[in-house]
Amino acid sequence: MSSIIKKLKQGDSQAIESFHKTYSPKIARFLRTKLGREEDAQEILDDIFFEAIDSIIMLKDENKLTAWLFKIAHNKVADFYRKRKIKVFLLSQIPLLELVAEEIYSPDFQFEKNKLQDSIETALSCLSAKHQQVLRQHYEEHIPVKRLAIELDLSYKATESLLYRARQQFIKYYERT
């Protein structure tokens, strides 16, 4: 057995063919019992042997080659079902996503969105330049408080207080619009 592994590690094409012929029937049987569909089993079988050949150098104990192949097969089956579950979930969400998309592109939604943006801009324009700057940097540019403190040459606590006061002023003006 070690001679075939040695040849596989060297990339010998005959060894690859022999390796596939020797182990593929056992792995294929395992896959058919786990997957049910021949097409899925064949596709995963190919993936298993590609992965095995690519990572044969990582095989530490040559006596555990069969167990190692079955472990790769087991992992590929788990990946198959994980991907299938995600696909089923995503496909089940399509009606909801279509509904959301219809809602987002409706004229009423766009009107409300524009109205909200106008209210926000009106409230912001009532604030001092310093409050406008700190709110825009923190909420629009996603600059963390720590970095804002450095840019404004303030302590962390002073920057938090400035942000708090700016938010309070914004709320006050926003509620008036």
pLDDT, tens digit, 9 for 90 and up, residues 68-94? 999 999 999 999 988 888 877 776 777
Same domain, 6 and 85: yes
Residue 144 falls inside a structural domain:
yes
Residue 137 falls inside a structural domain:
yes
Among 14-18, 87-91, 139-143, 156-160, name the one with the lowest average pLDDT: 87-91
DSSP string, the chain: -HHHHHHHHHT-HHHHHHHHHHHHHHHHHHHHHHH--HHHHHHHHHHHHHHHHHTGGG---GGGHHHHHHHHHHHHHHHHHHHHHHHHHHHHTHHHHHHHHHHHTSHHHHHHHHHHHHHHHHHHHTS-HHHHHHHIIIIIS---HHHHHHHHT--HHHHHHHHHHHHHHHHHHHHH-
Same domain, 42 and 70: yes
Same domain, 19 and 77: yes
Pair of tokens at residue 157: 């606590």
Same domain, 166 and 119: yes
pLDDT value, residue 107? 84
- Kindly report the pTM of this predicted structure: 0.49
CATH number of residue 76's parent domain: 1.10.1740.10
Pair of tokens at residue 92: 């089940």
Phi-psi region of 82 (alpha: psi -120 to 50; beta: other; left: phi over 0): alpha
Same domain, 9 and 82: yes
Domain end marker among 58, 92, 126: 92
Domain end marker among 47, 63, 92: 92
Same domain, 81 and 120: no
What is the span of the domain harbouring residue 120? 107-176
Domains identified in the chain, total number: 2
CATH number of residue 123's parent domain: 1.10.10.10
Residue 135 falls inside a structural domain:
yes
Pair of tokens at residue 72: 């790769």
Residue 102 falls inside a structural domain:
no
Confidence at 67, pLDDT banded by 50, 70, 90: very high
Residue 36 falls inside a structural domain:
yes
